[in-house]
Amino acid sequence: MSFDVLPPPYPFGAFHLVIKDAAEEVWRNTQAPDALIGMEFMTVMSVSAQGFYDVRLPTGQVRPLSLNSLVVAESGERKTGVHNLVAEPIYAFDVGRVKKYETEIEEYELQNRIWKSIDAGLRRQLTKLTQEGQPIEELCRQLSDHAANRPIKPRARRIMRQNATERAIMDALEGDGESIAFISDEGEIIIKGGALNQTGTLNKAWDGASMLTLDRSDGVSVVVRNPRVTVSYMVQRQVLKELLDRRGDVMRGSGHWARYLIGCPASTQGTRYTYHLNKDWHHLPKFHERMRELLDEFGRRVDAGVAERTTLEFSDDVHPRWIELANHTETMLQPWGYMHDIKDFASKALEIAARVAALLHVFSKQEGKISVDTLNRAIAIVEWHLHEFKRIFSPTTIPQEHADAQVLEHYLFVNYWCRNFTFAQKNLVLRNGPVRPASRLDAALNCLIAMGRVSIGVGRKRERYINLNGAYFGSLGGAVAY
């Protein structure tokens, strides 16, 4: 596990416009770490859409749109502020469902009392007729009809969950097509609450199992059909280390971690300067509107008893691209390959990319089948997380120049590109930047030059400049005016 190496900027540029604009607006107004914000958006998209959308992979399997995510961030990174801001429509949806349940349970209790009174009266009549030797066929028919009309107790449905044992998870998912999410900006609640002790159940739910069962000690069985579960939590580094020390082998060995998008973004503390107290919100409300549309439609389907989901498909021209990606991944699994030590995540990466592509398709309101462009956008996002998975879980030591290159790239992005500068004077970067001495800076620059992300220019006085590749840095997100 390496927390000393900083990741590159989160690929906001891979999002479609309605998502990208909202994410960058949150970034500008909160100045929280970019990946923390990007992953929060991915999570709420998953929660909003998983209830009534699935995706058919190019290989034919149908999979949920559920995503698992883990953000590693220290106290003070504005985890709570970002979560409450972005996820607000989900909490509002839950509040609305609870109020609806409270109204329904009052009506149910009234109707149930009436039903019981009528039932008791019919049974008294039956007893009397039996004692008198009178015909009871008509009364039995009335009893049968009355039994069939017994009021059904409403169910308290809400999406957000935190503290859950296996019993609580299964009870929440009982029935057909339930959709829940374990989300917390304080991951200790999820970890200590018991949800992560049930990795087998969570893995099956993530995979899209058609049925899960739990046999209770009282002889009653809980049957869950076609559940959808999103798991997302934010933890501090020490909490994650303790979790890995205690249960890391089990969670990695069971394949649970392989089902996660993981990120440990660079801290922004110390650079979050305030210039305006009033924040403008033009784009986030549009994203929230789309969330509400999806959640409301899910609520209507639940109320109507419709459990069947809409299955999204990929266009035919995605197939060659999918084959190319699958073969490239297979090559990277060889002993000398980049993914050799993270085979578990590599085995899920394409499927996760398909889920992300479907979410991008849904939230950008595209019609028809999922396009190659949307898949490529999803690949860019998942690739960022693949590097993070390797950085956090791989035992392999990253060469110093590669580590320095990642730190330097992030510094150039935040301090130059996001402030509308397309170049940086090398001496200033050496003096004020994160990589010293000059030999290490040169090695890091050589790595970035080899990847086509920067080039070196020479001024009239022989001073050297680091030119930022606009095609690459622009794909990470628009310039930000703090």
pTM over 0.85: no
Q: What is the pLDDT of residue 481?
A: 38
Task: Report the Cα–Cα distance between both ends of the chain, in Å, rounded.
Answer: 33
One digit per residue, the tens of pLDDT, for the chain of length 482 reads 555 567 888 999 999 999 999 999 999 999 899 999 999 999 999 999 999 899 999 999 999 999 999 998 887 788 888 999 999 999 999 999 999 989 999 999 999 999 999 999 999 998 988 888 888 888 899 999 999 999 988 887 889 887 666 677 787 888 888 898 988 777 666 666 666 677 788 888 899 888 888 776 666 788 888 889 998 888 888 877 777 777 767 777 788 889 999 998 877 777 777 777 778 899 999 999 999 999 999 999 888 888 789 999 999 999 999 999 999 999 888 877 788 888 999 999 999 999 999 999 999 999 999 999 999 999 999 999 999 998 888 765 567 787 788 889 888 988 899 888 999 999 999 998 888 899 999 999 998 998 889 999 998 888 999 999 988 888 776 554 33
Q: What is the CATH code for 31-95+157-393?
A: 3.40.50
pLDDT of residue 370: 97
d(CA 164, CA 156): 16
pLDDT at 182: 85
Q: Residue 270: what pLDDT? A: 77
| Residue at 447: amino acid letter | C
CA distance 244 to 1: 10
- Where do the CATH 3.40.50 domains begin and end in the chain? 31-95+157-393
The answer to whether residues 135 and 95 touch, using CB atoms and an 8 Å cutoff, is: no
Alpha-carbon separation of residue 31 from 74, 380, 477 (angstroms): 15, 23, 14
List for the chain the helix, strand, coil content (%; round to 5).
55, 15, 30
Listed in sequence order, the residues at least 6 apart from 329 whose beta carbon sits closer than 8 Å to its beta carbon are 339, 346, 349, 350
Phi, psi of 314 (to 5 degrees): -90, 150
User: What's the confidence (pLDDT) of residue 158?
Assistant: 86
Q: What is the pLDDT of residue 429?
A: 93
Residues paired with residue 180 on neighbouring β-strands, in sequence order: 229
Domain with CATH 1.10.10.10 in the chain: 400-476
Tell me, what's the pLDDT at 448? 92
Quick one: fold of 400-476? Answer: Arc Repressor Mutant, subunit A (1.10.10)
Across the chain, which distance is largest between two alpha carbons, in Å? 118
Q: Which amino acid is at 260?
A: Y
- The predicted structure's pLDDT at residue 210: 86
Q: Which residues of 141-156 are buried (b: 16+ CB within 10 A; e: fewer)?
A: eebeeeeeeeeeeeee
Question: What are the Cα distances from residue 451, in Å, to 159, 382, 465, 472?
Answer: 43, 19, 17, 10
User: How do residues 204-218 score in pLDDT, each as one tens digit?
Assistant: 889 988 888 877 666
Tokens of 445: 């620059």
Q: In the numeric block, which tokens belong to residue 237?
A: 């580094």
Residue 5: per-residue pLDDT: 63
**Predicted pLDDT of residue 361:** 97
Cβ neighbours of residue 223 under 8 Å, at least 6 residues apart? Answer: 174, 211, 212, 213
- The three-state DSSP-derived secondary structure of the chain is CCCCCCCCCCCHHHCCHHHHHHHHHHHHHHCCCHHHHHHHHHHHHHHHHCCCEEEECCCCCEEECCCEEEEECCCCCCHHHHHHHHCHHHHHHHHHHHHHHHHHHHHHHHHHHHHHHHHHHHHHHHHHHHHHCCCCHHHHHHHHHHHHCCCCCCCCCCCEECCCCHHHHHHHHCEECCEEEEEECCHHHHHHHCHHHCHHHHHHHHHCCCEEEEECCCCCEEEEECCEEEEEEEECHHHHHHHHHHHHHHHHHCCCHHHEEEECCCCCCCCCCCCCCCCCCCCHHHHHHHHHHHHHHHHHHHHHCCCCCEEECECCCHHHHHHHHHHHHHHHCCCCCCCHHHHHHHHHHHHHHHHHHHHHHHHCCCCCCECHHHHHHHHHHHHHHHHHHHHHHCCCCCCHHHHHHHHHHHHHHHHCHHHCCCEEEHHHHHHHCCCCCHHHHHHHHHHHHHCCCEEEEECCCCCEEEEECHHHHHHHCCCCCC
**Is 418:391 a contact under the CB 8 Å cutoff?**
no
Give the integer Cα–Cα distance in Å for 100 and 161: 18
CA distances in angstroms from 339 to 4, 38, 347, 372, 391, listed in the order given: 21, 24, 10, 24, 11
The enclosing H or E element of 384 equals helix 372-393
Q: Token pair for residue 262?
A: 């993981």
Q: What is the pLDDT of residue 4?
A: 57
pLDDT of amino acid 480: 43
pLDDT value at residue 14: 94
Average pLDDT of the chain to the nearest whole number: 87
Rounded CA gap, 38 and 397, in Å? 27
Give the ranges where 17-163 is alpha helix by DSSP (H): 17-30, 34-49, 79-86, 88-132, 137-148
d(CA 51, CA 344): 27
